[in-house]
Amino acid sequence: MKVAVFGTQSYDKEFLEKESKDSSHKLVYFDSPLSIMTAPLAKGFDAVCVFVNDDVNGEAIRAIAELGVKIIALRCAGYNNVDLDEAKRQNIKVVRVPAYSPHAVAEYTVALILTLNRKTHKAYNRVREGNFSLERLTGFDLYGKTVGVVGTGKIGQIFAGLMKGFGCRILALDAYPNKKLEKEGLLKYATLSDLLEQSDIVSLHCPLTPETKHIIDDQTVWRMKQGAMLINTSRGGLIDTEAVIRALMKGHLGYLGMDVYEQEEELFFKDLSETLISDEKLMQLVTFPNVLVTGHQAFFTDTALTQIAKVTIDNLTAFEKGEVLENEVTL
């Protein structure tokens, strides 16, 4: 099967090539993400392979359908960037990688918390300049703190376990509570209001849906404890950026760690170091001393990249052979 791989980075090609070498698939790589503008590149291909920031909207889907594309293979877990209604109308299958390395994202979340708390990034830069002062590097003990986990899927569960290991109390919120986790003593489910009001750290691990979009907004951010920490390693749209900026400026929100951003499509996974970045909200965020923004790298381990490539190729092979698509995304 001939596959057009959009939004390709060097590591995508490296790992996909390893996993596809014994398959019948011919992968052709394009630097540009899929959109209505780049859809014509899919001419002559049976499948397209896309990532989180490809704009797989209705127009793009209709365009690739006219070119004969029969399947969209997401090399990620999230699918909020795909118009599933239009894909169904065009009889195009959509498959994803539901779990690649939940440990990678959970561990990175802890890294953001520790970095923001103990200010190791600032200490590192100080020492390089010969400054060994400890002024303004004060942190807090994680032991005994309450951590709110929004979303208790695989990543949320692993993250909760890691924070439990630090001696934290875990409150959780999920549309489908896992009572087994509560029975085992890992966490306690609570309402969103109670979770926000009691947590010293709130970490988001839920998918982006119409129900969760801007789950942190002008109302909910002010329900958080004064000086609390907010972490997002899930999807940028979970946070209303302007709302958290206002809470930061008023001194209500104590720390913010983000590996995702709601307007990241034109920014992340690119080297813009010689470019004037016009996103005023992001530029304002990075000026705050208590904010840490990274470029969607929580998943980025060799284990995760291998699994992403393997499942992506397996999904394409199953489709080619007419087998059941275990990882199909349906409405």
Distance CA 96, CA 315 (A): 8
Beta bridge partners of 170: 147
Instruction: Catalytic residue, from 25, 75, 205, 296: name it.
Output: 296
Read off the DSSP letter of residue 264: G
Instruction: Catalytic residue, from 25, 75, 205, 235: name it.
Output: 235
Edge-to-edge order in the sheet of strand 93-95: 26-29, 2-5, 47-50, 71-74, 93-95
Edge-to-edge order in the sheet of strand 201-204: 188-189, 169-173, 146-150, 201-204, 229-232, 255-258, 291-293
Structure tokens at 78: 């999230």
| 296 in active site | yes
Report how far apart the first and last C-alpha atoms of the chain are (Å, whole number). 26
User: Tokens 């596809």 — which residue?
Assistant: 20
Q: How far is CA 93 from CA 30, 78, 84, in A?
A: 21, 15, 9
Instruction: Catalytic residue, from 25, 205, 262, 264: name it.
Output: 264
User: Tokens 């890992």 — which residue?
Assistant: 186
The candidate with the shortest Cα–Cα distance to 59, out of 79, 85, 80, is 85
- The count of C-alpha atoms lying within 13 angstroms of the C-alpha of 137, restricted to the half-sphere facing its C-beta, is 16
Give the pairing of strands 229-232 and 255-258.
parallel
| 264 in active site | yes
Q: Give me the active site residues, please.
A: 235, 264, 296
